[in-house]
Amino acid sequence: MPELPEIVSRANEMRQALTGKVISAIEVLQPKCLNVPTELFISSLQGARILDVCNHGKWIFVETTQGYLLLSLGMGGEILLTTRARLPEKHRLIFDFEDGTCLSVNFWWFGYAHYAPPGELASHTMTARLGPNANAVSAGQLKEMLKGQRGQLKAFLLDQSKIAGIGNAYIHDILFLARLHPQRKIDTLSEAEIEALSKVIHDSLQFSIDKGGAFYELNLFGEKGGFVVEDIIIGYREGTACPVCATPIEKLKTGSTSSFICPQCQPLVK
């Protein structure tokens, strides 16, 4: 499932490659991924010039002269810059450009391609209710956001309405590097622990962004991301030795998700 590093990488690639292109035609093979009727979606974006691409959490925002195209890959998918002659076998939407290239969008399971008219981005409830991008939250902001919270740390960090972009791929190493247990009660965190957590969130996400995201996602040109299995420190490494203290990594059930921790480095009670 793509998380912030993969989505930031896609948005960066799309900004560089797509800005200035004009959408000449749109083909929709999966109308249920849209938020408006197919004809309205097509007529709204046909003829639009792409101005910029950015991300909010796991959503990609394509800003055009005629409003926004908002893409969410859900569990995963491909956004590929290609041509009609080289279309991938699986695609749900095709955006043709005036220069003869096209953007092919595929969702592995289910995703969204939404339209927001100019000036109405704030009314798009699915993105309007997201918290700030995880890689843009300062230590001071994180302290403010955690103030008064009584829940468990991991649940907070995965709650996209609180802080957007972290999922169950990167969370294990983030908590390990911050030496914090996923079920740690937020109101017991010290200022120093929150500062360390903030730094680790930034560093971990940026490390993967610099590598173009995780290997299980393809970039805009069909190449795998450079963040490989060996870059994962303790996540999904149950039974292997902790790189710090050699204690075997444990897998825990934490609510609806699994967690991987070093019980020595990440004690629950301090």
Q: Which residues of the chain form contacts with Zn ion (CB under 5 A)?
A: 242, 244-245, 247, 262, 264-265
- 19 or 264, CB closer to Zn ion? 264
- 50 or 233, CB closer to Zn ion? 233
Residue 215's SS3 state is coil
Cα four-point dihedral sign 203, 70, 11, 216: positive
- Minimum Å gap between C-beta 200 and Zn ion is 15
Cα–Cα distance between 18 and 55 in angstroms, integer? 15
Angle between helix 191-210 and 4-18 (nearest 10):
50
- Minimum Å gap between C-beta 154 and Zn ion is 18
- 62 or 242, CB closer to Zn ion? 242
- Minimum Å gap between C-beta 177 and Zn ion is 11
Q: Number of helices and strands (H, E) in the chain?
A: 7, 10
- 101 or 264, CB closer to Zn ion? 264
Tokens, residue 2: 């793509």
- Minimum Å gap between C-beta 269 and Zn ion is 16
* Residue showing the smallest CB distance to Zn ion in the complex: 242
Question: Rounded to an integer, what is the distance from CA 136 to the centroid of its chain?
Answer: 13
- 13 or 173, CB closer to Zn ion? 173
Give the CA distances from residue 162 to residues 59, 132, 144, 149, 168, in Å, rounded to whole numbers and listed in that order: 15, 7, 12, 11, 15
Do the beta carbons of residue 242 and residue 264 sit within 8 Å?
yes
- Minimum Å gap between C-beta 261 and Zn ion is 9
